[in-house]
Structure 1
Amino acid sequence: MRKNSIKNSRINGEVMKVVAEAIRFSKDPRISPMTSVMDVEVAPDLKTCKIWVSVLGNDEDRQQTMEGLQSASGYIRSTLARTINLRNTPQLRFIMDDSIEYAIDMTKKIDEVKARDDEARAARGEEEEQDYDEN
């Protein structure tokens, strides 16, 4: 099976659904309720699976969630084996994805620059109106 085949894409999607549900119903208190599965990549031989997760919160929440996910990987893997009939149940590897926080940070910076630009325009606009009134 090729890496970008339709079959592999469907398997990735199904694994993503099952893993997200298993994380949501996990009883480990270390796993933050604000944990999202961003992407899943199952190897073509179905032996390994990379799971990118995002946690909304501070660094301590992220660290505890990663520890909880590593601890709950057996439960998540067994849920995956029961739900999806694959030749092999892949070993799970969780990777922290900080793209959401990066996007939020960039949006804040863009809003700050835009606000400063609007203030500068407003100040210039008032000066231009005064010059226009004098003529």
Structure 2
Amino acid sequence: MSQRLDRINELLRREISTVLQRDFEFAGALVTVSGVEITQDLREAKVFIGVLGGHVPNVLEQLAQKRGLIQSRIAKRVVLRCTPILDFRIDNSAERGVEMVNILEEVDKLPKAPLEEEGEDKGE
């Protein structure tokens, strides 16, 4: 991906995060924007959303209903030829990360083989 698209993706991620933080309430959920992928023609953008502690379909539905409002707020702050159409998608990477940490903690509790001492002769 080009550096220009990377910069636009990061700019959109920050601005969408700001709009969601400032203008939206998600009942009992922590909603984060983990990434944005804009198309080459800058007309559409996939917005990856992480949801912790809430009902994911409700959050997606709320974002889809307010997509026009979010796009208009973004258009005021980000100067592009045209404001991209936002497509909100779920990013489960944080959830998978927590699961992985829990698995690693369980593995760490399992009995381990005794360590060999450095001075021991091996089979001689």
- TM-score higher than 0.5: yes
Cα distance, 1:100–1:7 mapped onto 2, change above 3 Å: same
Of 59, 64, 72, which aligns to 1:70? 64
1:48 aligns with 2:6: no
Cα distance, 1:11–1:33 mapped onto 2, change above 3 Å: same
Equivalenced residues, count: 115
Of 79, 89, 92, which aligns to 1:85? 79
1:11 equivalent in structure 2: 8
How does 1:1-135 map onto structure 2 within 5 Å?
Answer: 4-27=1-24, 29-30=25-26, 33-58=29-54, 61-117=55-111
Is the Cα–Cα contact under 8 Å of residues 31 and 68 in structure 1 kept in the other structure?
A: no
Report the CA distance between 1:116 and its aligned residue: 1.7
Give the number of the structure whose residues are more often helix, by fraction.
1
Structure 1: 4+ residue segments shifted above 2 A: 29-33
Q: Distance in 2 between matches of 1:95 and 1:88?
A: 21
User: Could you say what secondary structure the match of 1:25 adopts?
Assistant: helix
Tell me the amino acid that sits aligned with residue 45 of structure 1: D
Cα distance, 1:65–1:23 mapped onto 2, change above 3 Å: same
Superposed CA RMSD: 1.8
Q: Distance in 2 between matches of 1:23 and 1:91?
A: 16
Q: Distance in 1 between matches of 2:83 and 2:38?
A: 10
Q: Distance in 1 between matches of 2:15 and 2:66?
A: 14
Report the CA distance between 1:6 and its aligned residue: 1.1
Q: What's the TM-score, normalizing by structure 1?
A: 0.78
Cα distance, 1:33–1:83 mapped onto 2, change above 3 Å: farther
Q: Distance in 2 between matches of 1:99 and 1:9?
A: 20
Q: Distance in 2 between matches of 1:51 and 1:85?
A: 18
